[in-house]
Structure 1
Amino acid sequence: MLLILLGVLILHLIILILLIVSTAASAWTVGGNVSKDLWYNCLTNDVIYQCTPASDEDWIQAVQALMILAVLFCFFSLVAFVFQLFKLVKGGRFFFTAIFQILASLFVMCGAIIYTVMRTDDLPGAQFGYAYVLAWVAFPLCLISGLIYIVLRKKE
């Protein structure tokens, strides 16, 4: 049982790190010498590295908010798991932790879908960057983790 709890905890920490990196990293869209993320649009020349704030459009602010909520709910889920690990009655399930984790996965999914649909193709040869991919990798892991918490029972 200890190995299962340790494995779930490590999975949760990996998901939290993935969410933090995907929210903060500057590579949601890359193309040539330009990279765009949720916060800045950066241009790289041989000598100059210039960043301007991301647009004020509603869709990018929605993606920012959803990714921040995903990080917060994943963190609160981790705190709830540790709290329930010590305070939950024997045989109880980690429902509170599971609800927070599943909500975090839904926030990541919604944010990534909005970014996918609303992203402008103003850069020639632009591609999705690694931060965007990390967000999509974090989504199923977060959902699976939430489902594991629903099934998981505290044993003696």
Structure 2
Amino acid sequence: MVLLLVSVTVLHLVTLAMLFTAILEKSWWVLADTEITDLWYNCYHDNSTGNWLCAANSENDWLQSVQALMVLTVVFSSVSFLVFLGQLFTMSTGGLFYFTGLCQICAGLTDFAACLIFTFHRKEVLDEARESSTSHFGYCFILAWLSMPLLVVSGVLYVHLRKKQ
């Protein structure tokens, strides 16, 4: 039982770290390794100085919805972890972690919605058609997609996890 508890806790912390990385790093869309776009900034590589020059993304409805859903995902997952710790020490023996699991599943669903919006409305989110043969999704976008099934699986594990002594 202790091994299962530690495994679920580590899975939760790993997915939370993946979500923070996906939101805070600058690699949702990469254009020819000279331009990187994320949820907050659009950065260009200046060859003369070797630095990245970043400007805020122009606001549009699709971008704001992706931003809000990803922030909501982190909030749901963080609340889920805090509630889990609280329930772990205060819940009576035999209780189930329903609320923790529900929050984690909601985090997975909001992450899924944000990734779908970015996937299908990429041109609107990026505010212009910057498609080329060298442009591709960045690693933060892939991390966001990978964290979605992990969030749902850990949510289901929390729902079935029973507190024992």
What is the Cα deviation at residue 103 of structure 1? 0.5
Change (3 A) 1:69 1:22: same
Query: Deviation above 2 Å: which 4+ runs of structure 1?
Result: none
Tell me by how many angstroms 1:123 deviates: 4.1
Of 108, 113, 116, the match for 1:110: 113
1:80 corresponds, among 75, 78, 83, to 83
Structure 1 vs Structure 2 CA RMSD: 1.0
Which of the numbers 95, 103, 107 marks the counterpart of 1:92?
Answer: 95
Deviations 1:71-95 (A, max 9, x none): 0110000000000111111111000
Question: Which residues in structure 2 correspond to 1:5-154 (within 5 Å)?
Answer: 5-32=5-32, 33-46=34-47, 47=49, 48-120=51-123, 121-124=129-132, 125-154=134-163
C-alpha distance in structure 2 between counterparts of 1:49 and 1:127, whole Å: 19
Which one-letter code corresponds to 1:122 in the other structure? Answer: R
TM-score, scaled relative to structure 1 = 0.97
Amino acid at match of 1:40: Y
Query: How far 1:3 sits from its partner (Å)?
Result: 1.2
Letter in 2 for 1:18: M
Question: In structure 1, what residue type is equivalent to 2:9?
Answer: L
1:3 paired with 2:3, answer yes
CA distance in 2, matches of 1:141, 1:54: 29
Instruction: Indicate the SS of the match to 2:78.
Output: helix
Separation in structure 1 between the aligned mates of residue 45 and residue 69 of structure 2, nearest angstrom:
28
Count of aligned residue pairs for this structure pair: 156
TM-score, normalised relative to structure 2: 0.92
Look up the SS of the partner of 1:26 in the other structure.
Answer: coil
* Cα displacement string for residues 117-153 of structure 1 (whole angstroms, at most 9, x for unaligned residues): 1112414221000000000010000000000001110
> C-alpha offsets along residues 49-104 of structure 1, whole Å, 9 cap, x if unaligned?
22111121100010000000100110000000000111111111000100110010
Gaps of 5+ in 2: 124-128
- Percent of residue pairs identical: 40
Question: Gaps (5+ residues) in structure 1?
Answer: none
Letter of the 1:67 counterpart: M
